[in-house]
Structures are given as C-alpha cells and as structure tokens.
C-alpha cells in the first residue's frame, strides 16, 4: 500500500516537525512496510526523513530562473526532494493549470527521475452526465502523460469529493480503478474525503493500492490509524 498525506497550505515548520516525529515513530514501532509519503508546505521541506518520504506539492519545471513566486529544481535538490505531486484538482481548477502545462511539468520531472503522484478526477457536473462522459473527461487528463513511466503513482480524486465529506460508491471507485488498471501498471490511489472511518474499506477495494489523504491527514494520530488499517489489510491478504 501507498499512503500519502497532502498538507496543502496547512501547518508551520514546527508543526510539521512534531507531526513527522509522531508518524515516523509509529512506522518504526509497528514495523510498517508500506510506502508513506508526506507532502508538507514549501516552508517545511527541511525535515530529514527517516522512514517516511517527503514530497513537494508543486514545482516549476526548470532548473532555476526568473519565475517569481515559484520553486524550481535547484531548490528541491537542496532538500533532497525526489517526489512530486502533479495534476491535483486544486492546481487545475483553482490555480488554473492547463493540461499542456501539467504535461510539461510531468515530462520535466520524469526526466529528472522523480517519483510522480499524478492526479486525475472529474467535477460533479461531469459525474452526473454518466460513465461515458466521466471516462472521456479522465482520458483528456492523460494527454501528454507517459503512463508507462516507471516511477508513476496514479491517484484518482473526484473533484466533488475533495473536502466535502462525500465519496463515490465503492462500485464507482472500483469501476474507475478498473479502467485505470487497464491503462497502466502503476500503483493506483484513491483520494477525496478519505478519513479514518472509510480508509480501510476503500483500501480493501479491487485495484486500490492506497490513498491520497487531504484534511483528514492533518492529524498525525488519524493518519497513523490509516497506516495501521493498511497494515492490517496486508496481514489479512498474507493469511488468505
């Protein structure tokens, strides 16, 4: 399993250090073998991780240069960052990134050997049009994206479920993940109102290889509980 915590624009550097201490201690104490990735804000990238990967929520696809307000490869290299989140719906729908820009970012960081968590998902009006419209919408988010890239992790996040407390039905999650599995061998994550109460059930679904968690991951104890649920699922699979 892969479990990702996306802090977005939350937590200070001090709060992130305290959070990481809790999660890293839990991972060590429970001999967790799953991949755990935390995406803190830029100001908290100076943590020296032990058994949890640190990723960046965004970066500009250049070594360095005159790009006011952006973080480039040169800055990420200073912190040893080799994992990036690309295509998140908030970058698409709030910041206004186009598919062309997202694809250029993907190509640049793939060329640099980054592990890429690439996000796709649909708004509510598309979901309400039915499965055909949904799949067509998702397909456009693959334009310019190398789905055979070896360090790709693909995350399905329905836009209407992010931060709303709403989630698709298990049938809908399995449908989408089944389609995605036919396109790539990359691990498939689900994101969108994942929380302690539903994380285990979601991770147990077919073709779901983990979760990308937003607001519910801001509590270190809650995120640790989700990690524990994944470990329990692993044990159940081994015993079957």
Tens-place pLDDT, residues 82-95: 999 999 999 999 99
User: What was the pLDDT predicted at 142?
Assistant: 98
Per the CB < 8 A criterion, the answer to whether 84 and 53 are in contact is no
Regarding predicted confidence, which is higher, 232 or 46?
Answer: 232
Name the 3-class secondary structure at 232.
helix
pLDDT reported for residue 162: 76
Per the structure, the count of domains in the chain is: 1
Active-site annotation holder among 24, 97, 122, 157: 157
Q: In this structure, what token pair is assigned to residue 37?
A: 């990735």
Tens of pLDDT, residue by residue over 178-204, are: 999 999 999 999 998 899 999 999 999
Q: Which of the two residues, 52 and 124, has the higher pLDDT score?
A: 52
Q: Residues 117, 82: contact at Cβ < 8 Å? A: no
**157 labelled catalytic:** yes
- Quote the CA–CA distance of 17 and 12 in Å, as a whole number: 9
Domain around 25 = 2-239
- Helix or strand (DSSP H, E) at 186: none
The residues near 47 (Cβ < 8 Å, ≥ 6 apart) are 16, 17, 20, 40, 54
pLDDT band, very low/low/confident/very high, at 47 (cuts 50, 70, 90): confident
Say what the pTM is: 0.96
Q: What does the pLDDT read at residue 115?
A: 98
| 225 classed as catalytic | no
Edge-to-edge order in the sheet of strand 152-156: 53-54, 35-39, 2-6, 210-213, 188-191, 152-156, 115-120, 83-86
Under the phi-then-psi rule, with left for phi > 0, alpha for psi from -120 to 50, and beta for the rest, what region is 188? beta
Residue 146 has pLDDT above 90, yes or no: yes
- The upper half-sphere exposure of residue 10, i.e. CA atoms within 13 Å in the direction of its Cβ, equals 13
Q: Residue 110 corresponds to which tokens in the numbers above?
A: 């793939």
* Mean pLDDT, the chain, whole residue set: 95
Average pLDDT over residues 71-76: 97
Confidence check: pLDDT of 69 > 80 = yes
Q: How confident is the model at residue 26 (pLDDT cuts 50, 70, 90)?
A: very high
Give phi and psi for 97, each to the nearest 5. -65, 135
Task: Give the Cα separation of 188 and 193 in Å (integer).
Answer: 16
Q: What percent of the chain has pLDDT over 70?
A: 100
Q: Which of 172, 170, 216 is nearest to 193 (CA)?
A: 216
Catalytic residue among 88, 90, 122, 177: 88
Q: Residue 232 is part of a domain; what is its CATH number?
A: 3.20.20.70
Q: Is the pLDDT score of 155 beyond 80?
A: yes
pLDDT for residue 139: 96
pLDDT of res. 166: 75
């Amino acid at each position: 399993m892969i479990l990702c915590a996306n802090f977005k624009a939350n937590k200070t550097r001090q709060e992130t250090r305290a959070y990481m201490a809790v999660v890293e201690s839990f991972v060590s104490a429970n001999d967790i073998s799953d991949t755990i990735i935390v995406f803190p804000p830029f100001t908290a990238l100076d943590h020296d991780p032990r058994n949890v990967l640190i990723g960046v929520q965004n970066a500009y696809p250049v070594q360095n240069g005159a790009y006011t307000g952006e973080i480039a490869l040169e800055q990420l290299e200073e912190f040893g960052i080799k994992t990036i989140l690309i295509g998140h719906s908030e970058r698409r729908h709030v910041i206004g990134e186009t598919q062309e820009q997202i694809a250029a970012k993907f190509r640049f960081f793939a060329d640099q050997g980054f592990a890429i968590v690439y996000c796709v998902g649909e708004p509510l009006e598309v979901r309400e049009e039915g499965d055909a419209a949904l799949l067509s919408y998702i397909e456009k988010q693959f334009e310019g994206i190398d789905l055979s890239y070896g360090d790709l992790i693909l995350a399905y996040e329905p836009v209407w479920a992010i931060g709303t407390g709403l989630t698709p039905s298990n049938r809908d999650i399995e449908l989408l993940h089944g389609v995605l599995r036919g396109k790539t061998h990359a691990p498939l994550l689900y994101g969108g109102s994942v929380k302690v109460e539903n994380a285990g059930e979601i991770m147990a679904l077919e073709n779901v290889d983990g979760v990308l968690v937003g607001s519910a991951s801001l509590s270190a104890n809650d995120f640790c509980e989700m990690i524990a649920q994944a470990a329990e699922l692993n044990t159940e699979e081994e015993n079957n």
